[in-house]
Amino acid sequence: MLIPGFATSEGTARFRERFAARLPGHIREAQGLWISSIGIGTYLGDPTADYDARYREAVRRAVSLGVNVVDSAINYRHQRSERAVAQALADSVSAGEIQRDELVVASKGGFLTFDAEEPPDPSAYFQEKLLDPGIVRMEEVVAGCHVISPKYLENQIDASRRNLGLQTLDIYYVHNPETQLSQVGRDEFFRRLRAAFAALEKAVADGKIRMYGTATWNAYRVSPTSAEALSLTDVLRVAEEVGGKNHRFRAIQLPFNLGMPEAAVASTQQAGSKLVPVLQIARAHGLLVFASASLLEGQLTQGLPDKIRNWFPHMQTDAQRAIQFVRSTPGITCALVGMSNLQHVQENLSTALAAPMSLEQFRAILQGT
């Protein structure tokens, strides 16, 4: 039985009310929803029962401490991360700790994935599961691992809904669409993206997802001359061509952290006659922006220079300092942090006991003062 419902203004406001006094400035309004400034990610870890249990505990604990954003993808740990999230959310809902309309749950599709574990013959597996049933055609696959055809995305959305135990996903991302640019020209890429967005608009109309977007790694951060560069303005234009002025492309996800600040400082996106950072384009269009790799896969949890530590006098650990930087960045809706350890959940979410930095404090950091 899939849990019905989706994140609503009323539900997320109810969630905010429970934590507002203890966590100042932590849950903020965007796109009509109240969204926690820190979310839990589920990418890292081996595809094992041990990690399944760890994620199940971590997600449930994070929600109890004031996180209402849960991010996953069907290919994370061979679908096991989505299934661990499902168990955590089902436990929390059945125990009366949370209601479905208080949560923003996101997933992604685009990469080929196994089912729970790697099969002895991956090629035979994909032949049987995807090619023979006609879900995927060989000419749609790029880099040996990536497909964004309508039929495949429709299949993956339904699979993620089953995995997560939810009738409706709040956000669904096309996962690393720039992967397509490695083997197809830009005209063909945008034809494929247009078809993908049409499928996602239909999924919204069918009640399977509430909104969609792109989860990228390099696309919006690199120089416009890069082979992987994408113009967010062009991507939004495709969404409007497909879905009209009221299209449901409402969110982007991309890496942003102390070691990778390009989204805020690198001028990679065309705006009229000049280049600007992608966060400026996203803000102009009212998009939700979720920062992935807030801790750079653990590299920012220790060893930060004293100069950086001094910027965050109220933070106790380097992990908290790194998270505080991301969640305080103007234009960032939520800092996603991968957490499969209860101790890390407690440490990371203690960041929210302090309010995000002011704009003046953030600007001082960018200027290196």
Find the DSSP H helices in the chain.
9-19, 49-64, 80-94, 122-126, 150-164, 186-205, 232-243, 262-265, 278-284, 306-310, 318-327, 342-349, 359-366
- Residue 367: pLDDT band by 50, 70, 90 thresholds? confident
Question: What are 189-219's pLDDT values in tens digits?
Answer: 999 999 999 999 999 999 999 999 999 999 9
d(C-alpha 182, C-alpha 348), whole Å: 36
Mean pLDDT of 157-178: 98
Domain holding 140, by residue range, is 9-366
Is residue 127 in a domain? yes
Question: What are 256-273's pLDDT values in tens digits?
Answer: 999 999 999 999 999 989
Find the DSSP H helices in 182-272.
186-205, 232-243, 262-265
Number of domains in the chain: 1
Amino acid at 309: R
Is residue 82 in a domain? yes
Is residue 4 in a domain? no
Is residue 315 in a domain? yes
Report the predicted TM-score, pTM, of the whole model to 2 decimal places: 0.97
Is residue 141 in a domain? yes
Is residue 265 in a domain? yes
Question: What are 289-332's pLDDT values in tens digits?
Answer: 999 999 998 999 999 999 999 999 999 999 999 999 999 999 99
Supply 106's token pair: 């996101």
**CATH value at residue 32:** 3.20.20.100
- Residue 366: pLDDT band by 50, 70, 90 thresholds? confident
Is residue 1 in a domain? no
Is residue 2 in a domain? no
Residue 197 pLDDT: 98
With a cut of 60, say whether residue 369 has pLDDT above it: no
Amino acid at 150: P
